[in-house]
Amino acid sequence: MAARPARVAGLLVLVVLTTACGTVSVEVTSETDVGKVGVETTLAPDDPPVTQTAPATTTSTTTSTTSTSTTTTASTVAPTIPLEYHDTGYAVFALAGDLEVRMPVSRYETVGFHESGHDGAFQLEVVNLDDWTTLASRGRGTGSRTAADIVTRADEPVMAPIDGTVIRAGSYTLYCDHTDNFVVIEPSGRSGWELKIFHFSGLQVGVGDEVIASDTMIATGGRILPFVSQVDEFTAEPSNPHVHIEVIDTSIPDRPSSGGGC
């Protein structure tokens, strides 16, 4: 694994809904999704602390010597993450069970895996990635790599990562405040499974459309979100947009949410 160092010390805490257990955000893509924790939930006050990679320390020493004293000073400088893209060829980047999930973009900067808000989300097996990391826990109680944030250029077309049928598509309200787009695809031959994609612009498909992996364009490009995301800690500045992907077995029920809708 080639993980990137954190660029800043902490994460932005986004407060959108307060409950007795802390702060959560809710994302709705259909009536059945009401009350589920959203894709990009930030840490609540009661969540486990985030452990970031310690910044590299650069020490500069200035010594001045006189007949009576010597003075030494030191400074710590956070590392700068260079912008570097990796060509994908739309290759398989993860396995959800036996389902091959292909890169939805031709180039990516990095991939941040994190916990999905759905109990039926598959733990993704990472393959063919040069640059990725597992992000700090969000306290959701799901697998550490049940969702993937793929960082790419804003003008990079988003292609279908699997063969299947679009069963839901459109816009929704992210964190009860921001308009975002989504597509849900049922993989071919796997009734009851859903691949969800969020955070993009220029929706190109609709309900009932058949899509082909790496061939069908589902969106014209990624979308820069109006707030700092967890994966941004591992990217160059200014941060590129990211496309979120997760695969869910809907036969596994979600635990009742302690929160609610917007």
pLDDT of residue 204: 98
Which CATH superfamily is 91-249 part of? Glucose Permease (Domain IIA) (2.70.70.10)
Residue 243 pLDDT greater than 50, yes or no: yes
Single-letter amino acid, residue 187:
P
171-221 pLDDT, tens digit per residue, is 998 888 888 999 999 999 999 999 999 999 999 999 999 999 999 999 999
Q: Please give the residue that has the higher pLDDT: either 55 or 261.
A: 261
43-81 pLDDT, tens digit per residue, is 333 334 434 444 444 444 444 444 444 444 455 555 789
Instruction: Tell me the CA distances in angstroms from 185 to 26, 196, 227, 245, one per residue in order.
Output: 21, 7, 27, 11
pLDDT of residue 150: 98
Whole-angstrom Cα distance, residue 204 to residue 190?
23
Residue 166 pLDDT greater than 80, yes or no: yes
Average pLDDT, the chain: 78
Q: Mean pLDDT, to the nearest integer, of 106-115?
A: 97
Which sequence spans correspond to the domains of the chain? 91-249
Q: Please give the residue that has the higher pLDDT: either 18 or 7.
A: 7
pLDDT of residue 16: 35
Strand partners, 195: 185, 247
